[in-house]
Amino acid sequence: MDFLQTLSIKPMNYGTSTGRKWIETTDQGVLDVFSPVDGKKIASVYRASQADYEAMVHTAQEAFKTWRMVPAPKRGEIVRQIGLKLREYKQPLGTLVTYEMGKSIQEGLGEVQEMIDICDFAVGQSRQLCGSTMHSERPRHRMYDQYHPLGIVGIVTAFNFPVAVWAWNAALAAICGDVMIWKPSSKTPLTAIAVQNILQDVLKENNLPEGIFNLIVGSGAAVGERMLNDVNVPLVSLTGSTQVGKHAAEVIGKRLGRTILELGGNNAILITPDADLKLTIPAVVFGSVGTAGQRCTTTRRLIIHESIYDRVKETLVKAYAGVRIGNPLDEKSHMGPLVDKQAVDVFLLAIEKIKKSGGKILCGGDVLQGTGFESGCYVTPVIAEAENHWEIVQEETFAPILYLIKYKGGVENAIELHNAVPQGLSSSIFSNNMRETELFLSHAGSDCGIANVNIGTSGAEIGGAFGGEKETGGGRESGSDAWKAYMRRQTNTLNWSTELPLAQGIKFDI
């Protein structure tokens, strides 16, 4: 395939890079990568060893000594050049994202565009790493705070956004003066290797040292756990399940390290009697079947007022019948496959739990077979009637399953249902009633990190901070002031007088 050659993806690939070169370890086993699109093997990757990890950390520490002293706008210039390189490789990289992960080609290209956008954002941010000045209570003193680079940032990414989430972290960490170690999902390592190949040109052209942008593909035992326990990595940004995030938080917390956790979502849309259904239905369909339900911001629950419940239900079932499922490299396809057969098994198990709980499957739930579906990873998206308190509804099932939940009375009742899940990532209300929408956005409204009005739960912009509350982990990435998480804060006081007045008026004579 031409896009693999363009990205320098070979049949056998090394899994460890310190930026400008690959570490040629071959004795730790091989990771074979298969496409959920057609079930064919794409390529293989040599796994890294723990010795590779230790050597990489040493290289990164040395690089940090140089990189942190480069002025932030100059670091921004490097990120700008990375954004330009990504523009050159947008088509092949987006195609690889689609082929390796299974999302539609529009979404694959859109993911690379997010990488480009966050690079652009970070370039501007490199001139805006601002502290504050405060008035000192002591005469002829100046007091202010400032931010310094933190060190090595570990970035652990998930399969569903195999490159964009790395860029959210890496672009900001880079302009903050940090160096990075990227551990990608073992389900999607080839996109990470492709990105590392793209970065090499920029690093070489600017004569930058090894160790600023590092990549390591290895087992959890050899690499993942070592990173979590490593006191040389002051910050780990991890995207994954709540279960994985809880383990990471416990391990890193024991060494008083920092985390940015982007974990599970159980996102809901509230549909009130004042909703414009012409806006609502397309948002629901895209939010629930986009990326085959494998976004952390996927719409999983619809909380619908009883007065319009039947109308919404009938309209959605009809809309789902028009969802085109097929090869995601075909632009006519709306939905591609799940990432692998294990994900299909989780999907089918969830359907059985819905039925045992008393739920009704309104449509979907089949595993597609035949020509074009040879991988066994294509399914038909599900709409199910359910109750919010059911165990299966309280969980995040990473698959295209949408629960319809009825509410009575005022929007306060819908908000109560909405908040009654452990997760708190993204949320939305469709209503033209100002009082309803303002309540949803108020202190008594949505308890999520993202709350939208008259748009869906997915498709967050890079300009805003991304993340959620409760079991979603509390982390924030991307825009706004998320850059502060990648730096250490320092308060400074300067005495420019000829005396030494002490704080709080304390007298200490010698």
At 367, is the secondary structure helix, strand, or coil? strand
CA distance 109 to 113: 6
Written as one string, the DSSP assignment of 19-64 is SSSEE---SS-EEEEE-TTT--EEEEEEPPPHHHHHHHHHHHHHHH
List all residues 6 or more positions away from 58 whose beta carbon is below 8 Å from its beta carbon: none
Cα distance between residue 338 and residue 103, in whole Å: 8
Beta-carbon neighbour count of residue 2 at 10 Å?
8
Catalytic, 296? Answer yes
Q: Please list the residues that pair with 212 across neighbouring strands.
A: none
Residue of 111, 262, 396, 436 marked active site = 262
- CB atoms under 10 Å from CB of 146, counted, come to 15
Choose, from 107, 114, 176, 296, the residue flagged as catalytic: 296
Residue 447 contacts residue 302 (beta carbons within 8 Å): no
Judged by DSSP in three states, 262 sits in strand
Question: Which two tokens mark 445?
Answer: 């409204």
Residue with tokens 């895209």: 286
Q: At what angle do helices 90-101 and 72-88 cross, to 10 degrees?
A: 70
Distance CA(225)–CA(364), nearest Å, equals 39
Strands 267-271 and 426-430: parallel
Packing angle of the helix pair 72-88, 164-175 (nearest 10 deg):
150
CA distance 34 to 337: 13
Burial class of 153 by CB neighbour count within 10 A (0 to 12, 13 to 18, 19+): buried
Distance CA 83, CA 104 (A): 22
Q: What is the number of other CB atoms lying within 10 angstroms of the CB of residue 116?
A: 20
CA–CA distance, 24 with 13 (Å, rounded to integer): 9
Query: Count of residues for the chain?
Result: 510
Report the catalytic residues.
Answer: 262, 296
